[in-house]
Amino acid sequence: DAFTVAALPGDHGTPERCYEVVIIGLTGKAFRAESGLLFHPHTSLRDAPALDTLVVPGGRGARIGPASAIIADWISKHAPKIRRIASVCTGIYAVAPTGLLDGRSVTTHWRFAHDLGRRFPKLKVDPDALFLKDGPFYTAGGITASVDLALALIEEDYGPRVALSVARELVVYLKRPGGQKQYSEPLEFQCNSSDRFADLATWILGHLRGDLSLETLAGRACLSSRHFVRRFKQVFGGTPANFVKNLRLDDARRRLTERTQTIESVAASVGFRSDDAFRRAFQRRFGVKPSSYRNRFDARTNASQNRKTIRKRSKRPARGKR
C-alpha cells in the first residue's frame, strides 16, 4: 500500500508516478494468501520484467513449502540485475538459501528468529529490529514492519518529504521507535502440566505486587534456593529474577494501555518499588518510555489526534481550485 500510495502522481509533490507495482506469482494463475485474500498476479516468475526492487512477502509457503526453493532459485539467477532485494517477515526463508545473506545482519518475525538462525547459521539474526539494511539487502520483522521498511525505501528514493507525505496518508509513523519486543508475546512457557512448575507462572501473575524473592519462589516450589534456580532455568530458560521482572513489565504494559492509572501507580501495582527503576527497566525492555508507549496505544489519544487531522485537512482548498 505504501508503494501504491507513493505511485499516485502529483499527490506527494512528485511530477510523475514514483513506482510501478508488479505482483509476481509462481505462475500466472490467481492464488490465495493465508489471509484469505485472492491475488491476480500481473505476471509469473518465468515472464517477470526487469525489476529495480524485489520484495519477497512472508507466509507458510515461503518458510516450509516447495515455493521457497523455486523462489530462491529464481533470485539466485536474477539478483545481479536487481538493485535491491527485500524480504518481509518469513519471506527471508526464500532468500536465505541463495547464500546472498550469509554474514549479513538480518531480521524476521520474532517468533521465527531462533529457527532462522538454526537453519541458516551464517546469518546474523537480530530478533528485535523492525527492519534492517545490509548492503543491497533489506529484511523486515513482523507483517506491519513491512510498512516501516517501505517508507524507508521511499525515503531513500525520493527523500524525507515524500516519505512523510505517504506516512501521513497511511496514518502511521514515518520512523517508529522501539523494536519488535514492544508487540511480541512476553514469554513462552515451555513446561508440562505434570511439572511442579506448571502453575508457578500463573501464581506469580496473581502476586506481582507482592514478595517474589528467590526464597519465596523456592519455598512455593518446595525446593532449596540452589536447586530451584537450577530447575527453573531448565524449565523457563532464564533466571527467576528476570522471569519475574519480565512478567511485571508485561503486566505494566497492559495497564498502561488502559489509561486507568498513573504511571507511578502502574509501577507500584506490578511490584516496582521505585518509579525511576520502573521507567529504566521498561525502556530497556521495550525501547520506549512508559509515557510514549501509553500515548501511542491509548485509543482516546489516537481518536483525538485523528479528529484534529480531519479538521485540519478539511480546511485545505479542493484540488484544482488553488
Please say if 191 is a catalytic residue.
no
Strand 43-44, strand 53-56: pairing: unpaired
Query: 146-170 burial, b for 16+ CB within 10 Å, e for fewer?
Result: bbbbbbbbbbeebeeebbbbbbeeb
What 3-state class would DSSP assign to 125?
strand
| Cβ atoms 125, 108 nearer than 8 A | yes
DSSP 227-273: HHHHHHHHHHSS-HHHHHHHHHHHHHHHHHHHT-S-HHHHHHHTT-S
Place of cell 526492487: 53
Angstrom distances, CA of residue 102 to CA of 20, 24, 37, 113, 267: 30, 25, 33, 15, 43
C-alpha to C-alpha distance for 201 and 213, rounded to whole angstroms: 14
Nearest to 241 by CA among 215, 267, 266: 215
**The three three-digit cell numbers of residue 189, written as one number:** 512457557
CB crowding 200-210: b at 16 or more within 10 Å, else e: bbeebeeebee
Q: Using the structure block, give the residue that is written with the C-alpha cell 520484495.
A: 55
Catalytic residue among 18, 89, 191, 222: 89
**Catalytic machinery residues:** 89
